[in-house]
Structure 1
Amino acid sequence: MTHRNSTESLDLVAGELVEVASREEILSTLDQNGKLDSMPFMPEMLQYCGKRFRVFMRADKTCDNIKQWSLRRAKNAVHLTGVRCDGTSHGNCDAGCLLFWNEAWLKKVAPDFVSASQVAQPALASSPDPRTDLTCTEQRLRESALRPDPLVPGNTLYTCQATELREFTSHLYWWDIRQYFRDIRSGNLRRGVGGDSKSERLLEVVLGILEVVRSLIITAFNKLQELRSGVHYPHIEGLLDTTPTCDLNLQPGEFVLVRTKDEILATLDHNNKNRGLLFDSEMVRYCGGTFRVLKRVNQIVDERTGKIMKMKSSCIILEGVACVSEYHRLCPRAIYHYWREAWLRRAE
């Protein structure tokens, strides 16, 4: 295992094995608000301390939904495979966001140091004795997730990585070509089906370049269409004034079939929404597929305000069904898609 100074960059790439530092090591990097370089370390992340994971993707860029959609530049951060927020310290938020990990909170692990069965398991080394000289303690960390509502006395607002995203990122222009070089170099675009031979690695690079070129063409086309008031690719157009409801009472573990694109379009209004929920272009790829219900979404933290937002209509998350940013400049954030039950039917 490689130990390092917290100011150094690990320069991690997708697929690398890492170990999350101990609680004391991570707390020692945080300010009194539980942040490092303005990035919050959330209480939900403590459960992963001392465990090992694969890097899912580098988080060199990320989508911003707080204001009008855009991409933001992040530094020295990665996402870990399968490591999502469970919302327990944020009003039981059901969003299941993929967590950001500053590289200062991670350690590289040699590939032959552990077996595959040990990934996502606690490290063997014992934790040091709790420190008393920390600027940020666990109690302070939990307190930093909450703040009073200045407009409603007695009401609680929440602070998390999603609400603070603009604080630890900077604007990223679509034409900044460096982001696409980082996408290729980081391994974010690897398909993971090739071997370790030089020819296969070269093929992975070529395929990554083609994916970047495709993304640039789609982005340029949609920018041009905006200027001439044309339709975006892929084209989605709802026509209803009032959208239908559907209550299947789907439960976690059930299998469902996502309806066809045309069937879903028939449930959308002029803003491509059903009961206020957007059917996004990234969801088209899942039409016609069969998936398992992961959970029902009852409430989420509104990243714009920090308020808990209750869902008025049924909303479903499906296992493994997340945004791949095919039409949004290859953002690696992998946000879960939310599905209306009107867009699904039980698999027979």
Structure 2
Amino acid sequence: MNLRVGDLVEVRSEAEILATLDERGELESLPFMPEMARFCGRRMTVHKVAHKLCDTISRSGMRRMERAVHLTGARCDGEAHGGCQTACSLYWKEAWLRRVDPDEPQAAPEPEPALLPLLLARTRKDADHYSCQATELLRAAPTCLPFRDLGQYVTDVRSGNAGVGSVVRTFLVGLFNRFQEFSKKVLPRRLWFRRGLRWGFVEG
């Protein structure tokens, strides 16, 4: 679909989304969660194109996500996950959306009785642990995205995620941080710039 920031989309019906999911309630290893069902049939704008994400689980760095976006105002309310209050920004696969024209008539959403039971059955890994998009991100984004992959920065600009100036600054900060890490490995302490600290120069 090549969605961009600001595009108007409509979340597909429960029946259409159900048809994209496997027996785990996932598409390309990304769960469609019970908290997302309330958005079915609604029209929303693309907030960001989610082509990459930060690995906060194993801290492997950036990971590549395929065909996904964040929608403005679409956050998890945690209702099906023990009242979790993290309010994560939900990931939406393009297959769950369709681009619409603002003047196009909006059809009334039709509930799909089979969708919610499937999703609710997959909210727990076991009696003590929940499963959600946040816990499964490494499966949904299995490929590491190296800093030197310049294509990611081009995508940021083309998708509308960020302006050229912001992207250049992000790249330069990343380059500086890598220089600091390298210098701490090969240079004597007296030659470290600002004690070898990463950008921001905050210790701890």
Give TM-score scaled by structure 1 length: 0.53
> How far apart are 1:128 and its partner, in Å?
4.6
Matches within 5 A, 1:72-221: 72-113=63-104, 124-128=106-110, 130=112, 137-148=115-126, 155-169=127-141, 170-189=143-162, 208-221=163-176
Q: In the alignment, what sits opposite 2:201? A: 235
> How far apart are 1:126 and its partner, in Å?
3.0
AA of the residue aligned to 2:131 = T
AA of the residue aligned to 2:128 = T
Which structure has greater helix proportion? 2
> How far apart are 1:168 and its partner, in Å?
1.1
- Higher relative contact order (Cα pairs below 8 Å, separated by 6+ residues): 2
Q: Distance in 1 between matches of 2:176 and 2:111?
A: 57
Percent of matched pairs sharing the same residue? 44
1:59-118 alpha-carbon deviations (Å, 9 max, x no partner): 00111100125111001100001111111111111111100000000011113337xxxx
1:273-306 alpha-carbon deviations (Å, 9 max, x no partner): xxxxxxxxxxxxxxxxxxxxxxxxxxxxxxxxxx
> How far apart are 1:214 and its partner, in Å?
1.3
For the structure 1 residues 73 and 86, does the alpha-carbon distance in structure 2 shift closer, same or farther, using more than 3 Å as the test? same
Provide the aligned length of Structure 1 versus Structure 2: 192
Q: In the alignment, what sits opposite 1:37? A: 28
Q: In the alignment, what sits opposite 1:198? A: none
Q: In the alignment, what sits opposite 1:48? A: 39
Q: Distance in 2 between matches of 1:55 and 1:49?
A: 15
**Could you tell me whether the CA contact under 8 Å between 2:47 and 2:69 is conserved in 1?**
yes
Q: Distance in 1 between matches of 2:32 and 2:154?
A: 28
1:129-183 alpha-carbon deviations (Å, 9 max, x no partner): 747xx6xx321211101121xxxxxx32111111000101121001100001100
RMSD of aligned Cα (Å): 1.6
For the structure 1 residues 60 and 41, does the alpha-carbon distance in structure 2 shift closer, same or farther, using more than 3 Å as the test? same
Q: In the alignment, what sits opposite 1:225? A: 180
> How far apart are 1:209 and its partner, in Å?
2.2
Stretch deviating more after TM superposition (57-66 or 220-229): 220-229
**Could you tell me whether the CA contact under 8 Å between 2:40 and 2:109 is conserved in 1?**
no
Q: Distance in 2 between matches of 1:166 and 1:73?
A: 10
SS of corresponding position for 1:228: helix
Q: Distance in 1 between matches of 2:102 and 2:82?
A: 38
Matches within 5 A, 1:5-20: 10-20=1-11
AA of the residue aligned to 1:164 = E
Give TM-score scaled by structure 2 length: 0.89
**Could you tell me whether the CA contact under 8 Å between 2:14 and 2:110 is conserved in 1?**
no
Q: Distance in 2 between matches of 1:11 and 1:43?
A: 26
Q: Distance in 1 between matches of 2:111 and 2:59?
A: 46
Unaligned runs of 5+ in 2: 185-195
> How far apart are 1:24 and its partner, in Å?
1.1
SS of corresponding position for 2:98: strand
For the structure 1 residues 69 and 82, does the alpha-carbon distance in structure 2 shift closer, same or farther, using more than 3 Å as the test? farther
AA of the residue aligned to 2:167 = V
